Chain A
Amino acid sequence: MNTDRRNPGTDNAAEPDKSGPASRPMGIRQAFREIRKGAVVVWWGFFDWVAVVSWKALLLVALLSLIIGAGIFNLPNFTFLLIVASFIVKVVAGGKRRAELTADEANSRAETEQLERTVLEARMEALQAQIEPHFLFNTLGSIDQLIQTDPPRASKMQQSLIRYLRSAMPQMREGRRPSLGQQVDLCRAFLEIMAVRMDGRLQSVVIVPEGLKSAVFPSMMLQTLVENAIKHGLEPKPEGGLIEIGAEIVDGQLAVHVRDTGIGFMPTGEGGVGLANIRERLKVLYKGRAELIISVPPAGGTCAAIKVPYETAPAPA
């Protein structure tokens, strides 16, 4: 630590000597400026060091410099003055400066953490946003068949697919904070496609108040819940069933649920990956202020609800 402090000083002392003879009038002024700059750097370096260093270390250094300063260079007064000055600095300004320095450090650590969170969330979101090839190819296959048997219906289904892809592709989302309205529209398009493919076995109803559509809601979570409800709840059920998407404000929180009348949740079942992913993302995004709740409605089937703090997205410019 000691040598750290001395280095900039010696550098600055040597510099004017080098530049001095080259051009005198300009050189002197420049040299002064350099010396002043150097002195400021040395002073603040010294100041910070005094502020952060422990009293024990300061005393030890003082004793050492007393021995060197007074004993070897024979400058007892100057050394003594320096030591007294540093003690005064430590007493008067040490605490405040130290607090400042720790605050700075904490700030930059918080920034790094925030950055890490953002990166983590982006990665998990991308994972969740993957469009299943199976879904895509099956849908295109159905459209292909409808083109021959029922062209108007084929066209409708293709439009649903386009709407779905527009909001499901990560690169199409333009970095805005996703709103509940967008997520619901995405799910609607998805449900329209699945209703055609499942041939009357799937009914759906969306109960989302107009006023909640501008609420901020993380992307692709609702979509995962809807996919799960179809895949694990309704598809295995020969007669199919109903999916209900609903949203309400409960105790200041936005609660969005997907309820199905399917075969019910399997305790040993797979398919927990999507839900685990949602849980992780909620943790990263809201730090314990959001949760995913899976419950069994009295009438059977499954209900999955996501609760997040209620905030509205700024209207798009």
Chain B
Amino acid sequence: MRPLPAPTAVVADDERLMRDQIVARLKEAWPELLIVGEASNGREAIDIVRSVGPDIVFLDISMPGTDGIEAARALAGQAHVVFVTAHDEYAIRAFEQGAVDYVLKPAEPARLALTCQRLRERLKQAPDPMHDLLAQLSQRLGPDGLKPREYMRWVQASVGATIRMIPTSEILFFRAEDKYTRVQTQRFEALIRKPIKELIDELDPNEFWQIHRSTVVRVDAVDQVSRNLRGNQVVHVKGSDERLEVSRTFNHLFKQM
């Protein structure tokens, strides 16, 4: 019988010290294990695992850009995944139900030895696709392609010579003006190049309402709605003297309850 080839592993952690630590302690706990690659973010981990094809990948969960969970999803079934985390009660609970192992940082030698023991057993089988576990984790950790739509929370606008990030919660209304759109807050006004037509798609419809071809108002900033001499609805906004006319198309927004 031929001897089995030495098992191989890739270690991914964004902090070099933590990476060094895992590598050093793995050498003690499992001398035969060959570390064939190291990565400092999820993206690198995916690339290295795909090109080197190790048996095992150790993935830190919180890494910049592509995190450990996303990397694990991309690599599911290609390698046995062990998550590494500094502090994550929920994740730990999830792993305890799941099929994959986890390592808490800083890795205790005794605990790591147990992980290695489990991995030796597991190497006889094909890597688990981990569907349930990843679904469970990503639900909590957020970033995945299925997340509900993200709306604009900050508007990048120019005030005089500077460019400022204005939180949408401070904006009273947007108004189209020639080539620009004016952003009005209680303290100042700013300009953006984006036309109302495009803007309205990026704003949360629960936070902002279009009331006119050229006007979008933040719902919470509306003080009252009156009628002008021509019988059109006019919106009064808290913190501004400007009156905003509502065009007929948007009259239904302020219908009486």
Whether B86 pairs with A134 at a CB distance below 8 angstroms is yes
Is A236's CB within 8 Å of the partner chain B? yes
Rounded to whole angstroms, the CA-CA distance of A196 and B155 in the bound complex is 34
With an 8 Å Cβ cutoff, the count of chain A residues facing the other chain is 36
Rounded to whole angstroms, the CA-CA distance of A216 and B106 in the bound complex is 39
Whether A141 pairs with B153 at a CB distance below 8 angstroms is no
Q: A199 touches which one: B16, B162, B164 (CB < 8 A)? A: B16
Is A293's CB within 8 Å of the partner chain B? yes
Interface residue ranges of B42-80 to A (CB < 8 Å): 62, 64-65
Whether A138 pairs with B164 at a CB distance below 8 angstroms is no
Whether A238 pairs with B41 at a CB distance below 8 angstroms is yes
Is A296's CB within 8 Å of the partner chain B? yes
- Nearest Cβ distance between residue A301 and chain B, in whole angstroms? 12
Whether B15 pairs with A197 at a CB distance below 8 angstroms is yes
Is A267's CB within 8 Å of the partner chain B? yes
Rounded to whole angstroms, the CA-CA distance of A279 and B65 in the bound complex is 28
- Nearest Cβ distance between residue A49 and chain B, in whole angstroms? 39
Is A70's CB within 8 Å of the partner chain B? no
Given contacts A138-B15, A138-B105, A145-B20, contact A295 B87 (CB under 8 A): no
Measured between beta carbons, the chain A residues less than 8 angstroms from B154 are 265-269, 272, 294
Whether B167 pairs with A141 at a CB distance below 8 angstroms is no
- Nearest Cβ distance between residue A242 and chain B, in whole angstroms? 17
Measured between beta carbons, the chain B residues less than 8 angstroms from A138 are 15, 18, 86, 105
Whether A294 pairs with B164 at a CB distance below 8 angstroms is yes
Measured between beta carbons, the chain B residues less than 8 angstroms from A149 are 20
Rounded to whole angstroms, the CA-CA distance of A267 and B165 in the bound complex is 8
Rounded to whole angstroms, the CA-CA distance of A295 and B158 in the bound complex is 9
Interface residue ranges of B145-168 to A (CB < 8 Å): 150-156, 162-167
Is B187's CB within 8 Å of the partner chain A? yes
Whether A197 pairs with B65 at a CB distance below 8 angstroms is no
Rounded to whole angstroms, the CA-CA distance of A269 and B154 in the bound complex is 8
Measured between beta carbons, the chain B residues less than 8 angstroms from A275 are 167
Q: B17 touches which one: A133, A142, A238, A266 (CB < 8 A)? A: A142
* Residue in chain B with minimal CB distance to A133: B87
A-B pairs with beta carbons under 8 A, tally:
89
Is B14's CB within 8 Å of the partner chain A? yes
Is B117's CB within 8 Å of the partner chain A? no
Interface residue ranges of B134-192 to A (CB < 8 Å): 150-156, 162-167, 169, 187
* Residue in chain B with minimal CB distance to A292: B167
- Nearest Cβ distance between residue B41 and chain A, in whole angstroms? 7
Measured between beta carbons, the chain A residues less than 8 angstroms from B151 are 268
Measured between beta carbons, the chain A residues less than 8 angstroms from B18 are 138, 141-142, 145
- Nearest Cβ distance between residue A135 and chain B, in whole angstroms? 9
Interface residue ranges of A182-202 to B (CB < 8 Å): 196-199
Measured between beta carbons, the chain A residues less than 8 angstroms from B169 are 276
Q: B87 touches which one: A134, A197, A279 (CB < 8 A)? A: A134
Whether B17 pairs with A197 at a CB distance below 8 angstroms is yes
* Residue in chain B with minimal CB distance to A144: B106
Is B240's CB within 8 Å of the partner chain A? no
Is B4's CB within 8 Å of the partner chain A? no
Rounded to whole angstroms, the CA-CA distance of A265 and B155 in the bound complex is 10
Can you sample 23 A-B contacts with CB below 8 Å?
Answer: A134-B62, A137-B86, A138-B18, A138-B105, A141-B18, A145-B17, A145-B20, A146-B17, A148-B24, A149-B20, A197-B15, A237-B64, A238-B40, A265-B165, A266-B154, A267-B155, A268-B151, A268-B154, A272-B167, A291-B187, A295-B162, A295-B163, A296-B164
Residues of B within 8 A of A (CB): 14-18, 20-21, 24, 40-41, 62, 64-65, 86-87, 105-106, 150-156, 162-167, 169, 187
| Minimum-distance CB pairs A-B, first 4 | A141-B106, A294-B165, A137-B86, A145-B21
Instruction: Give 14 A-B pairs besides A138-B15, A197-B15, A294-B166 with Cβ atoms closer than 8 angstroms.
Output: A142-B17, A142-B18, A199-B15, A236-B65, A267-B153, A267-B156, A268-B154, A279-B167, A293-B164, A294-B154, A295-B163, A295-B164, A296-B163, A296-B165
